[in-house]
Structure 1
């Protein structure tokens, strides 16, 4: 691929040099601060060969390139007449404030994404228990039923504690203070004290009766306020007293404020949103389903669907059912139907294969490959999916179809969520979504790619990767490019001690949607990185937050410490190797101050991925949840 031409295309499509206020790059993407994001042609950029994806985050316009980003950056800079050098840290977002709506969605996403495994697991168990009870395979009075029900209900009942931890973590405050706030209002004596009808006061101030079990909004607001109180007290407290004073004063202020004002207000807001959604579907079901079902994929693209997560959880927790989850499911199935329709219509073997495989993946609830790689690329199939979802949404909402638990992806694996009195209508709705979208895609057609023209699905990461001094602390002895050849099986050992996470839990679409490659992530408990393979350090970012490696078996790897930590400009990172260095499993690559990074407001979750996945068939997990350095993390099968 001609990097010069790619850089020229990118420069033109972001609105030209006059629209660029600042441009920098990290290990995987070009980061633009544009004067006007609206002038950038996102649609064309996404379909540009060499561009893996486009996203906006925190006011930045980011173009995902992959391992070749230094080459493209250098070419881009060479085509500009003015200096694009980074500005001082105070202007990290180009002097622009983050869009308040984007900030809210980012906050909700960051809070709920980490807890979804707990909610999903508990929800699936609730679904299984309901199924066992329906078929008479278990007695509702048996101890087995009681224990299984407790396992399924536990995460929902004590949701304020779980959310307290996740919210504090997102805000960069003490997670255990967040947990303590949730635990305080969930204490049995408080629950009994706040029973409706009782007059309760605290130092003369009235405490409003409220039930906090399974609530969402009260704890979000309380921990958000606590983050400011905690930081304010921390600033004025002597270091020798912080351990005692900061948590004590924070709890003494926030918990009463929560019970007196924040909690009741949050409960009212939460119940109001839940009641409003239920009123809408009870009184305008068909039209509500038509609108929400047809728009759900658009909400997912913009990230606005995260705003509905608290409503979904609140509805399930308080009412025992939810109307929105079935609509999300049919929207996903509609994307699958359109991708399968493309497979039937296209004459290009490569497109047929791509659309068929992504369509099957979408049926399982993972829609991004089908949505971004096929339907939005050809445009009309995406429109067909929106129409198909709207038709199906109108049908299921007319019959007031509900989900009864939260669990699994919104695809075939999530079928237990809709098992209940309206199950048959849900299944019919799913069939309508798939079939209608596929038929509409076939009828509307699209501009197919001729067989002789390679489909624009090859990414920059599929090419040989060359280290460039602009982004690495390297010399002329840096390792040369790895030639394309069939890779060997590669065992990847853990580069750090911590908790193993799925890439889907990483709060960055480039990793969570596996745009950059496949692998796993680690939430570190120590600030040290060691080599997970025997090979060569391919690149080392100037900021120290990312390390590129090439194994002796040909695997190209990326270790990315934290998300957006490039903005720290190397602060808190201490590299121990240089680009071009030969390393073995266990050799120290990097040390970093985990606590200071998190205090600065950045997550330290670390993706450990293989970027040349086109040379591998699968990733096999070693099955660990807690891991230490040099323990087997996963194996890439060639």
Structure 2
């Protein structure tokens, strides 16, 4: 029931079913492609219980759920009937090439990763048990276990064919048929165990290449098949095109794949692998340190998907991969940072959140640690990246490899043991992971939590403040005008305090200034809203007007950029009050403390009164 309620809330806050073009999910995220991102309420979703974070990246509206993402996804699909969506419609919008590429890769590979990771872990277990001589490779038991572990990889072209053709807008079951043709026993028999075999198709010379476990060739073949099928559907009559279009699609695509697409794609995949290996071998330590340090940053923006086909292709082409082991310190660095914060914090509720995120991190899911613990406190995330970089350098020094596919977790260590037995590279992986985890944990424990700065004030500042000395933070007004309560704002999202506590100001002068010394952490493209983090740790959202996002930046001028450090009173954004009113929009400006939950209370010091720039506006009581 909780998942269904969450699913209903997500559908509503992404703008409803009609605003959804496509939806897939990965290990922790729902990945929407929306018709109009501006009508989705990311801030409301961030406040929703069960949602860890909302990220807009790679042309996708990503809702981070955590470990139970599959259950929420299924409920969304059931409630919204999203199975009826046209999978190809997501490619029809005007996103840039990189965004489209990330969307295509994540949509194709995300649904199949669970089975591949599971199979990869099992391959590692079988290998480990063989090294320990628990299982004899000459027994039927070994054969059965190996078949279970290898089947998903051996028939990967069938799985990938289904996912790729579905994404490209064709009939996915014919994608399975396409992939099946590449690994059919008769084709394998024609190879006779050779790396290449010459044959012909109606006098067309063909050089057969092993396609078992292949990635890039079937990817391009699926794209070409979908293109053929869609164009043939435009030609043939509705009464028989469902059968005739796929018939001709397969007859054209399969031979062409064997003759041209497959060899060219294989050449490209080998070139990519060799190129990356060349760069890696120039300085494996430095390359590993950089990748490990920035990996979680790539994860935050969802662009790490661009490297997934490279991991898989490396394992297919050479039987091992050097990139995936480098990511183990990246995962355990953030996990160690979360543990350090948990040990230092005295807040029982926060310690509970941090402890669950540490447990998830051990199994390779770092989003709860990143979004719930490390990023909100900022320094722990940086310390996690530092620990990752040091661990990555150790991995690069010993050039540790992984021999089956899987994302970094506690299970990955058995996947980095070569068939010849435990070696120095394995021990290096253990040392690198411990180093990343420990360094991040210690730095976060001693330096991760910000020192709370507060002003001690007498109770006569406000009738709503207790008659005793308490730790407080005073936020000054960033605008001049009339102060009103949030409950009076004509927008339920703000009035209900879903986005946080605060007040609203009806401005009389058209600009906003910094309420304290701090940093601009977000600036909307339309310049109608600005996120501000004070040096005392208060997150403030200043939303100029209601529904003014629809003005698309008209009548607004930004004087700062995201990431700028500013002083109190420094001008942030200017706006034309009269022009905005004439365009039909209210100028009422909510001023929200986004992290209100971090404080015992947030109260107004001035309601239903005029206020000037720099006068005391809000008082925040520390927990």
| TM-score, scaled relative to structure 2 | 0.58
Distance in 2 between residues matched to 1:268 and 1:350, nearest whole Å: 54
For residues 179-578 of structure 1, the aligned pairs below 5 Å read 179-193=176-190, 195=194, 198-407=197-406, 410-420=408-418, 421=423, 422-447=425-450
Q: Is the 8 A contact 2:55 2:300 kept in 1?
A: no
Q: Is the 8 A contact 2:162 2:172 kept in 1?
A: yes
Inter-CA distance 118–349: structure 2 relative to 1 (3 Å threshold) = closer
Aligned partner of residue 277 in structure 1, secondary structure: helix
CA displacement at 1:163 relative to structure 2: 0.7
CA displacement at 1:136 relative to structure 2: 1.2
Distance in 2 between residues matched to 1:303 and 1:63, nearest whole Å: 11
Q: Is the 8 A contact 1:348 1:450 kept in 2?
A: no
Cα deviation per residue 1:310-352 (whole Å; 9 max; x = unaligned)? 2222222332322122222211110111111212333444333
Aligned partner of residue 95 in structure 2, secondary structure: coil
Inter-CA distance 60–164: structure 2 relative to 1 (3 Å threshold) = closer
Q: Is the 8 A contact 1:127 1:417 kept in 2?
A: yes
1:26 matched to 2:16? The reply is: yes
In structure 2, the gaps of 5 or more residues are 1-12, 21-31, 66-85, 455-469, 473-490, 494-623
Distance in 2 between residues matched to 1:134 and 1:60, nearest whole Å: 44
Inter-CA distance 147–350: structure 2 relative to 1 (3 Å threshold) = closer
- Give the structure 2 partner of residue 71 of structure 1: none
Cα deviation per residue 1:166-224 (whole Å; 9 max; x = unaligned)? 21222332122111111112123333546556443334443234221111011011111
Aligned partner of residue 240 in structure 2, secondary structure: helix
Aligned partner of residue 239 in structure 2, secondary structure: helix
CA displacement at 1:284 relative to structure 2: 1.8
CA displacement at 1:46 relative to structure 2: 9.3
Inter-CA distance 366–448: structure 2 relative to 1 (3 Å threshold) = farther
Aligned partner of residue 201 in structure 1, secondary structure: strand
Cα deviation per residue 1:47-102 (whole Å; 9 max; x = unaligned)? 8899963322675768999xxxxxxxxxxxxxxxxxxxxxxx9xx99x96112212
Aligned partner of residue 25 in structure 1, secondary structure: coil
In the alignment, which of 166, 186, 194 is matched to residue 163 of structure 2?
A: 166
Q: Is the 8 A contact 1:33 1:61 kept in 2?
A: no
Cα deviation per residue 1:460-491 (whole Å; 9 max; x = unaligned)? xxxxxxxxx999xxxxxxxxxxxxxxxxxxxx
Distance in 2 between residues matched to 1:332 and 1:64, nearest whole Å: 17
Aligned partner of residue 54 in structure 2, secondary structure: strand
Aligned partner of residue 331 in structure 1, secondary structure: helix
Distance in 2 between residues matched to 1:358 and 1:293, nearest whole Å: 20
- Give the structure 2 partner of residue 141 of structure 1: 138
Q: Is the 8 A contact 2:328 2:408 kept in 1?
A: yes
Distance in 2 between residues matched to 1:404 and 1:418, nearest whole Å: 6
- Give the structure 2 partner of residue 480 of structure 1: none
For residues 148-163 of structure 1, the aligned pairs below 5 Å read 148-163=145-160
Cα deviation per residue 1:417-472 (whole Å; 9 max; x = unaligned)? 23343322111111111101112223443425699999xxxxxxxxxxxxxx999x
CA displacement at 1:251 relative to structure 2: 0.5
Distance in 2 between residues matched to 1:64 and 1:435, nearest whole Å: 27
In structure 1, the gaps of 5 or more residues are 1-22, 66-88, 455-468, 472-638
| TM-score, scaled relative to structure 1 | 0.57
Distance in 2 between residues matched to 1:123 and 1:147, nearest whole Å: 15
Inter-CA distance 63–263: structure 2 relative to 1 (3 Å threshold) = closer
Aligned length: 405
Inter-CA distance 336–453: structure 2 relative to 1 (3 Å threshold) = farther
CA displacement at 1:405 relative to structure 2: 1.9
CA RMSD for the aligned pairs? 3.9
In the alignment, which of 118, 121, 126 is matched to residue 123 of structure 2?
A: 126
Distance in 1 between residues matched to 2:404 and 2:395, nearest whole Å: 17
Distance in 2 between residues matched to 1:223 and 1:143, nearest whole Å: 36
CA displacement at 1:413 relative to structure 2: 3.8
- Give the structure 1 partner of residue 54 of structure 2: 54
Distance in 1 between residues matched to 2:353 and 2:447, nearest whole Å: 20
Distance in 2 between residues matched to 1:288 and 1:199, nearest whole Å: 40
Aligned partner of residue 56 in structure 1, secondary structure: strand
Inter-CA distance 343–321: structure 2 relative to 1 (3 Å threshold) = same
CA displacement at 1:146 relative to structure 2: 2.2
1:104 matched to 2:101? The reply is: yes
Distance in 1 between residues matched to 2:150 and 2:317, nearest whole Å: 12
Q: Is the 8 A contact 2:64 2:367 kept in 1?
A: no
Aligned partner of residue 208 in structure 1, secondary structure: strand
Distance in 1 between residues matched to 2:492 and 2:297, nearest whole Å: 37
* Structure (1 or 2) with the larger CA radius of gyration: 2
Inter-CA distance 268–179: structure 2 relative to 1 (3 Å threshold) = same
Q: Is the 8 A contact 2:60 2:103 kept in 1?
A: no
Give the stretch that moved more between structures: 185-194 or 23-32: 23-32
Distance in 1 between residues matched to 2:142 and 2:63, nearest whole Å: 51
Distance in 1 between residues matched to 2:123 and 2:14, nearest whole Å: 48
Distance in 1 between residues matched to 2:260 and 2:358, nearest whole Å: 49
